[in-house]
Amino acid sequence: MTERVLAGVPASPGTALGGVRLLDAAGEIDRTVLDESDRPAAAARAHEALAQSARELEELAGKLRAEGRTDEADILDAGTMMAEDPVLLEAVDRAVLVRGLSAASAILDEVELAATQLDALGSPELAARAADVRSLARRALRLASGRDGSARRKSTGETILVAADLGPADVIELDGDVRGIALAVGGVTGHAAIVARGLGLPMVVGLGDGILTLTEGEPVIVDADRSVVIASPDGERVDAVRKAIALARDARTRAMAARSLPTVTRDGRSVRVLANAATPTEVRAALEAGAEGVGLLRTELAFLEATHWPTATEHRRTLEPMLTQLKGLTATVRLLDFGADKTPPFLKGVHGRGVELLLEETEALEAQLGAILETGEETELRILIPMVTEPGQVRAVRAAIEPIAARRGSRVPLVAAMVEVPAAAVMADRLAPEVGMFSIGTNDLTSFQLGIDRARPGGSPAHHPAVLRLIAATVEAAHAAGIPVEVCGEAASNPLVMPLLVGLAVDELSVGAAAVAKVRGWVRALDFVEATTIARRSLDAESAAEVELLARPLCSLLDDAG
Ligand code: PEP
Ligand code: MG
């Protein structure tokens, strides 16, 4: 078969290679109406499939709890409760006994109805619950159709799981042979993606139905770093990927072994390495990898399906499992950054982004600030403002924080501004006196500065001199005002750009949990003076390509560091 490339959305980083393992049952369901005499047996089969699903999920949850993976176990409990819900069982009975549906059809229809009702209630938490319920349906369906209910099957060597969508339980109980996941639908913030990230399984979602036409056993590459899945890759590509996977595995082992060493360059400059996170699993993985805390907690990702501004209670519920892990450590909680590709249904058609939107909704801002101050009480709390363009926005947020802190009797936390719009970098000298820290978001900064789509495959070039100049100006203004600068965009874990950031005297790097150990090793491999010389020269370059040539020697140093 010839090579085919399918583009999707990365949900868990890394590259994997294996044979396709197709997982789906919906297409195989018998929709013929049953004879009256067959209906009681079908109803019994539906009950047994649901009961067996509940037993399996309960057993899985027990195993996870024994390993301390309580967040994942809690996700599975939703499925168990649903499988035992008398209202669902009654509805399934009616569907089989009265309408004559088969056991599998009845389960599919009734569980889907329950999931749709949960979706319609408008809470992001319940919407996530709906996905869990659908996952239960798939498991019960496989059982009702007389097959193994789990995503697990007899080992056929290293495999890539291919499915329309996956539930968390499907991902959790994958056997050791599954190397990656490719989904037709699925979201980046769905539970399956969260679990995959926790397990370090590369995953690409949103590939469309084309992915379901792959044949069982067909070789396939999941390349989440380039947002693609490549079916029947040619021999050369397979060799390259195999080498990259082996190198990555060795590097991970070395980096994890060194996670307690200080992050200081060879000539003694200290650079803090923190983590970006949006889920409790990511926070745990980041701390295990040696992160000094969280440098960017993206709060909006939990609310992308919201039908109203999140309430204080909803904020507390999502923040608590993350911030309780960060007692005594840095916790940089970013205020909701809704807008553009992160626009929930209730904001469709509304223009604006980040702090601009929040300042128009004082109540929503206060609800989030109250929840952050309460749940972050025991952390080294920093409140980060997204999409800042002028100092007045920082003053307005601080004015909202002060009375809430006073009411609670807690101190006002450090307030930081994202520098992710060129305006903020240009105004850095005016913004610096208003904040305790800058955090540079290279993802947006690069795309706005160069006028390119940030979702473009392969990423956007943060090493373009026009972007580096904005970063240099930001650092200069910050240090003149005596405040530190963090970089929390993807560039902080890009081997070409990271040394330039260190050379431009950035104080902190905040990177995805999976990159923490690696980036810590990179800091130790660099020489600050050498990095500064090359970074300064890069500011005078004419193009990203020219910077690439200048930065190559530093980049290869990192290769050696792992
Ligand atoms: C960025 O823009 O670099 C950033 C970290 O923010 P986000 O990716 O969440 O937009
Ligand atoms: Mg951004």
> Ligand 1, closest atom to CA 442?
3
Q: Residue with the nearest Cα to atom 6 of ligand 1? A: 441
Ligand 1 atom at shortest distance from the alpha carbon of 440: 3
Q: What is the 3-state secondary structure (H, E, C) of 94-143?
A: HHHHCCCCCHHHHHHHHHHHHHHHHHHCCCHHHHHHHHHHHHHHHHHHHH
Beta strand ranges found along 336-413 (DSSP E): 380-385
pLDDT tens-digit profile, the chain (562 residues): 789 999 998 888 889 999 998 876 444 556 788 998 989 988 988 888 888 888 888 888 887 777 666 767 777 787 788 888 888 889 999 999 999 988 888 888 888 788 778 777 766 566 666 767 777 777 787 777 665 445 444 445 789 999 887 765 666 656 668 899 999 887 665 657 766 776 778 999 989 888 988 988 999 999 998 889 999 999 999 999 999 889 888 877 887 888 889 999 999 999 999 999 888 878 888 898 899 999 999 998 888 778 899 999 999 998 998 999 999 999 999 999 999 878 888 998 998 999 999 999 999 999 999 999 999 999 999 999 999 999 999 999 999 999 999 999 999 999 999 999 999 999 999 999 999 999 999 999 999 999 987 755 455 799 999 999 999 999 999 999 999 999 999 899 999 999 999 999 999 999 988 889 989 999 999 999 999 999 999 999 999 999 999 999 998 888 767 5
Kind of pairing, strands 414-419 and 437-440? parallel
Residue nearest to atom 8 of ligand 1 (CA): 443
Nearest ligand 1 atom to the CA of 386 is 6
- List the structure tokens of 309: 């501004």
- Answer for the pair 133, 79: CB distance below 8 angstroms, yes or no: yes
**Cα dihedral 35→40→46→51 (10° resolution):** -170
CA–CA separation, 220 vs 20, rounded Å? Answer: 6
**488: Cβ below 6 Å to ligand 1?**
yes
Q: Is the C-beta atom of 441 inside 6 A of ligand 1?
A: yes
Whether 298 lines ligand 1, by a CB cut-off of 6 Å, is yes
Q: Which residue(s) pair with 342 in the sheet?
A: 339
- The minimum-distance atom of ligand 1 relative to the CA of 490 is 3
Rounded Cα gap, residues 264 and 287, in angstroms: 18
227 alpha carbon to ligand 2 midpoint, in Å?
Answer: 19
Instruction: Report CA(64)–ligand 2 centroid distance (Å).
Output: 34
SS3 per-residue string spanning 466-480: HHHHHHHHHHHHHHH
Could you give the domains of the chain? 4-22+151-248 (3.50.30.10), 36-145 (1.10.274.10), 271-561 (3.20.20.60)
- Between the CA of 46 and the centroid of ligand 1 the distance, in Å, is 46
Å from CA of 231 to ligand 2 middle: 32
CB atoms within 10 A of CB 517: 25
Q: Which ligand is nearest to the CA of 509?
A: 1
- Ligand closest to Cα of 301 equals 1
**Ligand 1 atom closest to Cα of residue 298:** 9
Ligand 1 atom nearest the C-alpha of 445 is 2
Atom of ligand 1 nearest to the CA of 441: 3
- How many CA atoms within 13 Å lie on the side-chain side of 463? 26
456 Cα to the center of ligand 1, angstroms: 14
Q: Give nearest CA residue, ligand 1 atom 9.
A: 298
Query: Candidates 332, 418, 439, 498: which one to mutate for ligand 1, based on the most atoms within 8 Å of Cβ?
Result: 418
Is the CB of 507 inside a 6 Å radius of any atom of ligand 1? no
The finding on whether 420 has its CB within 6 A of some atom of ligand 1 is yes
Q: In this predicted structure, what is the pLDDT of residue 125?
A: 61
Spell out the alpha helix ranges (H) of 441-512. 442-450, 465-480, 498-503
